[in-house]
Chains A and B, each alone.
Chain A
Amino acid sequence: MNTNEKKTAPAGNEPEMAVTIAGVTFKNPVFTCSGCYGAGQEYSEFIDLSKLGAVTAKGIADVPWEGNPTPRVCEIPSGMMNCIGLQNPGVKVFKERDLPFLREQNTGVIVNVVGHEEDEYLRVIDALQDEEGIDLLEINISCPNVKNGGLSLGTDPKQVEAITRACKEHAKQPVMMKLSPNVTDIKEIAKAAEAGGADAVSLINSLTGMKIDVERQTFVLANKTGGMSGPAIHPLAVRMVYEASHAVHIPVVGMGGIVKAEDAIEMMLAGASAVSVGMANFVNPYAPLEILDGMKQYLIRHGIRDVNEIVGAVH
């Protein structure tokens, strides 16, 4: 059977794993990254989603988006690049098909919201206002693969503050702004989100890269550039989570190349209140639960009773 299943930590001295972000309590700090988990259905064939802190659904827009041409993905050393272009079925289908599934999973639900311009984001947020079972809205102002909106909104502090404020005015759920690493100073962007009223920030989105096929002398990805993810970008993510968490007073959800428990612990020591697992799922569908288990064992090994004690412990 499943050779990847590890023994769980012994009962009795289980450390406290619950974390609270923007007033919402999650059973543990291991979430999944938007775009790497669909709306949970596919990976529910491999793991019990109720064991996760939260599932972050793939970015959803006001209408269906076709995304970019293929090839959309390629490998890089210790990671990958993608230029999916936020293909999604639109918020109507999400509400009718995906959200009901997520509600039944007894796990945290984070809905990632995308758009080209402010009005599009707000239409999605409005459409989700009266939906039950959404713990957080994650506003994606950092996708490197769509021309307007996404990244261009997320790299200017003034625009970040303005869109955050607008989202907050419309949202009934707490709002977490997802930030881009493709900026000179992440501290300024995080502060702008906080100034706009964000309840939390999440980072990092993928880092813009490029790969050229030297034999064919062409770009490997159809979009020429793509977002880098995976362990290759982990140290950069740790640095940015550290900087952002020291710049703001709101919680930071850390992500970027987490593939094992030590990576998650490292991210929390740097200042993250919770972590998200992305590309690791593609390599090992059991990764989030193995990471969670490894975190518990780390806490036991270090005599730490509550996972919250390690948040920002290295500074």
Chain B
Amino acid sequence: MKIKETARVVSQEMISEGIYSLTLSVSFANQIRAGQFVSLFLNDRSRMLPRPISVCETNPEKKTMRLVYRVTGPEKGTAELAELTAGDGVDVLGPLGNGFPLDAAAGKRILLVGGGIGIPPMLMSCEQLLAFPEDKRPEKVTFAVGYRTDDTYLLDDLKRRADVLVSTDDGSLGTHGTVIDAIREGQADADVMFACGPKPMLRAVKTYCEEKGIVCYVSMEERMACGVGVCLGCVCRTTDVNDYSKVKNARVCKDGPVFNAEEVDLT
């Protein structure tokens, strides 16, 4: 069930240049599925629209969730979020969106692909896949993550859980190039792929999966307002007429953010 409540900040730290890790105490921590997101509201009430941020990790016992996000500019709402410290209150709406279809990876080899600030939901996807009962657990989980430079984040968290293929734009770490280059270089075979990142990366991922016959799910991003599916602000183009909208687009916040790559038009 979705809820809006005032969450308490447990901790916050900068984990890389402009990248922050924020842990919040929320009543719905145990209901969040990997790939879902929450909307954060700013305490500056003249900035009214929520900031959608995907969930990186949850701790159901402690009823906390961890968000890892990028401060997009000095005047942006995320800069205000970065000021939050332990004990502060922040209004949260969630959990929102559909999340990754984890069952699609049961017993399969899965690649979790994250580009930049698309990496955080991959950590949670891995966590929930590894928590499957033994007979459903994926045969193999591999991360493929792309950074701009060797100023990485979450890399140790990923390595603790599964094998990691790394690419950087400048070649300072791992494969010089894109995540797809890293996947080819690492010869990482897979049956299923979950991906989150910038649109050009998702486009390349979709093409790669088509070529290799891999079932592919992508998490889309679009400017949002309501976050719950009413305003139709955050639609993405679909290849066929969508069941809800009856036109060739779908709501990223409600029908997504995760779509089968075949359903969305990434051109």
Report the nearest B residue to A75, measured CB to CB. Answer: B49
* Size band of the interface chain A makes with B: 35 or more
Are B225 and A282 in contact (CB-based, < 8 A)? yes
**Residue in chain A with minimal CB distance to B2:** A45
Decide if B1 touches A64 in the complex (CB within 8 Å): no
Q: Are B47 and A75 in contact (CB under 8 A)?
A: yes
Determine which of A70, A79, A82, A231 lies in contact with B222 in the assembled complex, contact meaning CB atoms within 8 Å. A70
- Per-residue B-contact encoding for A136-180, CB less than 8 Å = 1, 0 else: 000000000000000000000000000000000000000000000
B223 at the interface (CB under 8 A from A): yes
Interface set of B (CB-CB < 8 Å, partner A): 1-6, 27, 41, 46-50, 77, 93, 222-236, 244-249, 254
Tell me, rounded to whole Å, the shortest Cβ–Cβ distance linking A155 to chain B: 25
Interface residues of A (CB under 8 A from B): 1-4, 35-38, 42-43, 45-46, 58, 64-67, 70-75, 77-80, 82, 84, 87, 89-90, 93, 230-231, 279, 281-286
B246 touches A64 (CB 8 A): yes
Interface residue SS majority, chain A: loop
B6 with A281: CB separation less than 8 A:
no
Known: A2-B5, A70-B223, A70-B234. 10 other contacts (CB 8 A): A37-B230, A38-B230, A72-B233, A75-B49, A75-B77, A84-B231, A87-B235, A87-B249, A89-B245, A89-B246
Which residue of B is nearest A284, CB measured? B4
Of the candidates B4, B77, B231, B234, the one whose C-beta lies within 8 Å of that of A286 is B4
Q: Determine the distance from Cα of A4 to Cα of B41 in the docked complex, in whole angstroms.
A: 14
A73–B231 CB distance below 8 A: yes
In whole Å, how far is B89's beta carbon from the nearest beta carbon of chain A?
10
Q: How far is the CA of A282 from the CA of B229 in the complex (A)?
A: 10
| Closest A residue, CB atoms, query B3 | A2
Contacts of B229 on A, CB cut-off 8 Å?
38, 42
Given contacts A38-B229, A72-B223, contact A279 B48 (CB under 8 A): yes
* CB contact under 8 A between A73 and B230, given known A1-B27, A46-B4, A78-B46: no
A79 CB contacts on chain B under 8 angstroms: 48
| Residues of B with C-beta under 8 A to A75 | 47-49, 77
Contacts of A72 in B (CB 8 A): 223, 232-235
Residue ID in chain B nearest A38 by CB atoms: B230
**How many whole Å from A91's CB to the nearest CB in chain B?**
11
B235 touches A70 (CB 8 A): yes
